[in-house]
Chain A
Amino acid sequence: MASAVAGLDIADLSVQLGGQTVLHNIELRAQHGEFVVLAGPSGSGKSTLLRAIAGLLPCAAGRIAAGGFALDGLPPGKRDIAMVFQDHALMPHLTVAGNLMFGLRARGTARRVAQARAADVAERLGLGGLLHRPASQLSGGERQRVALGRAMLRDARLVLMDEPLSSLDAPLRARMRREILELHRRQGWTTVYVTHDQAEALSMADRLGVLIDGVLQQVDAPLALYQQPANTAVAAFLGQPAMQLFNAEASSAGVWLLGRDRAVTLGAESARLVAGIRAEAVEVDGSLWSPLQSGSWPVPARISRVEHLGDVQWLHCDVGDESLIARVEPERRYTAGAPIALALSPDRVCWFDARTGLRL
């Protein structure tokens, strides 16, 4: 589509810090109005990428454009970008109104106008009664709303959020997730949201990018990443628990996996493979959630530990020297030490090349 201007277009971006390349050839495109989540373990470069987009860090190579405008070389203040920070970056000595007006006043908006706009945004965020309260006396959720209000007042073509919920407690995080998404839709923002939280990444993203060791491993719909990770790094990062990876070996008889030869043709170049198995893909004899299917590969095992979380049960099973986790419904009783018949459906196993880590 020629008419659709990308909300964000990053091409071949590299960033160096202290002589070391911390981001390698990043390619990331976001449609206008899209909510893009960047996830990855700490130290993977997510925040660095966000700061490079904002212009807070120089880029060694590559191009960044937002809403059709090239941002390269522009100072942060001229990029028309709003940013929400991990610790909210409120000024403790200023009131809610003062914090909301911070950016407007920095750009020379008249006090009267800024006050009116701040009051309007505060009203919409349910902060109307708190306008004159010092930021130091706000609760975590209120601080978060002030930080979002500041981004609303910015009226930017791109909104960057750097782990904005990481300092909140769990129930509040769940509620703020919803509020941020609603705000994103209503304001028509193009948003790039950085998090290390699996639940946030999978539940909030229109599209999810996984960044590991400064490389953007895969960008796709969250479910696609979850079900078909592009490589073992993404597989091992995404999901709670992550995809379980087992060494496998291709031979003339099929593929040797979990103690047996399995009849499967993969057309792999290398003989050394890695099989990725989600806990919910493991079939368990007698289970309602994942009953044994005909045509599945049998995996005789022994239960080593039962982890009951109330709404779900995790069975840690020993298969020879390996350990395999299966997910079953909470109602049925399992006892540690008992033998159990497990099975794997061939079409629910992800295969990776052991050398390159890439999915076949």
Chain B
Amino acid sequence: MSRGGGLAAIALAATVGLVMLPLVATLVLAGFRYDALNSPVWIGFDHLRRLLADPLFLTALENSLWLIVVAVPVRLLLALVLGLLLTDRGRVARAAFVPVFTPVVLPELVWAMAWLWILNPFFGPAAWLLNTLEVGGAQWLLTSTGARSAIVVVLGFLIGEQVLVIMATRRHIPPQRYELCAVEGAGGWYSFSRVTLPALWPVLLMLAARDVVLVLQLAFVPSLIVTKTGPQFATLYLPHYIYQNAFEYLRFGYAAAMSAVLVLAVMVVLAAQFWLLRRWIRMG
């Protein structure tokens, strides 16, 4: 077998063994009551019915959707602005790249501990800033909107990868297109909207699609450490609730049912984005 064929076989085996099989197992497990101590009991679609009546599940679902709707566009917009600013090959841009990219490579726990101090409503710098600007004061950090916003702020700093992808795409745009803009006397907005943005669209869409899944993953540690899923479950997200049900309450079947719902929801979002992306690519 050629080396390429061998690598493809390993990749296929990994995909089947680590992604497809667990996915199928999850879907099957969703139909059982199972606590890892006694034998699983088949209960059909009972878990789904219970989910709809579970206020914490509904809260976690709502929180998750809120996070996706707010954090994905904010992160993408930030990454776009930073990516375009940093595309300049000057010394300032190169220096600025370090603080932009560092949070991504920091261990999550270290990162979360730093935010625990920054966002502390009594002695953190964020509280000092809010008090100084008098926008609601530090008390705001204790409200549910404040906590949810804090998570978005934390995620807003974890955009190094996206910035990198946007920079790489931007640098691939032939410079002659910008020279043409200059010769034609086109303004900044004109060349951004007619040259830069059209070339970036497919990549932005792909990043957005990936981010729908990624923000939920990225929010796991900060919501556990910084806000402790509070106040009043305001920052309880589905992955965390699934984790609690499976490994703290040993409700593996119930957790599997929630995972299935989450997978389904994500698939719907991805399908919509994939459809859009294909239309864009066909248009060249």
Contacts and interface: CB of A to CB of B under 8 A. Distances in A.
Given A102-B194, A137-B284, A89 B182 contact: no
Contacts, number: 71
B40 interface: no
B179 interface: yes
A83 B183 CA distance: 7
B284 A106 contact: no
Interface in B156-184: 174, 176-177, 179-184
B176 A106 contact: no
Interface stretch (B3-11, B116-124, B139-147, B185-193): B185-193
A136 B284 contact: yes
B203 interface: no
Contact of A102 (B184, B198, B199, B283): B184
Contacts of B179: 51, 54, 56, 76, 83, 85, 89
B174 A89 contact: yes
Contact of A76 (B177, B183, B187, B190): B183
Contacts of A83: 179-180, 183
Nearest to A137: B284
A106 B182 contact: no
Interface in A82-97: 82-83, 85-87, 89, 91-94
Contact of B176 (A89, A105, A136): A89
B283 A106 contact: no
B188 to A, nearest CB: 11
A89 B177 CA distance: 5
A89 B284 contact: no
B195 interface: yes
Contacts of B283: 93, 134
A103 B184 contact: yes
Nearest to A104: B184
Nearest to A81: B183
Contacts of B177: 89, 91
Given A93-B198, A93-B283, A106-B190, A82 B183 contact: yes
Contacts of A68: none
Interface residues of B, number: 19
B175 to A, nearest CB: 9
Contacts of B181: 106
Contact of B180 (A75, A89, A105): A89
B195 A91 contact: yes
Contacts of B185: 75-78, 103, 106-107
A154 B186 CA distance: 13
Given A76-B185, A134-B283, A85 B194 contact: no
Given A91-B198, A92-B284, A54 B183 contact: yes
B180 A102 contact: yes
Nearest to B174: A87
Nearest to A98: B194
Given A89-B174, A91-B177, A107 B184 contact: yes
A193 to B, nearest CB: 16
Given A93-B198, A134-B283, A76 B182 contact: yes
A42 B148 CA distance: 58
A77 B194 contact: no
Contacts of B190: 105-106
Contact of B182 (A56, A102, A107): A56
Interface in A26-82: 51, 54-56, 75-79, 81-82
Nearest to B284: A136
With a 10 A CB-CB cut-off, give which of B177, B180, B182 has the most chain A CB atoms.
Answer: B180
10 contacts: A54-B182, A76-B182, A76-B185, A77-B186, A83-B183, A91-B194, A93-B284, A102-B194, A105-B190, A106-B185
Given A56-B182, A56-B183, A76-B179, 9 more contacts: A56-B179, A76-B185, A77-B184, A77-B186, A85-B179, A92-B284, A106-B181, A107-B185, A134-B284
Interface of A: 51, 54-56, 75-79, 81-83, 85-87, 89, 91-94, 102-103, 105-107, 134-137, 154
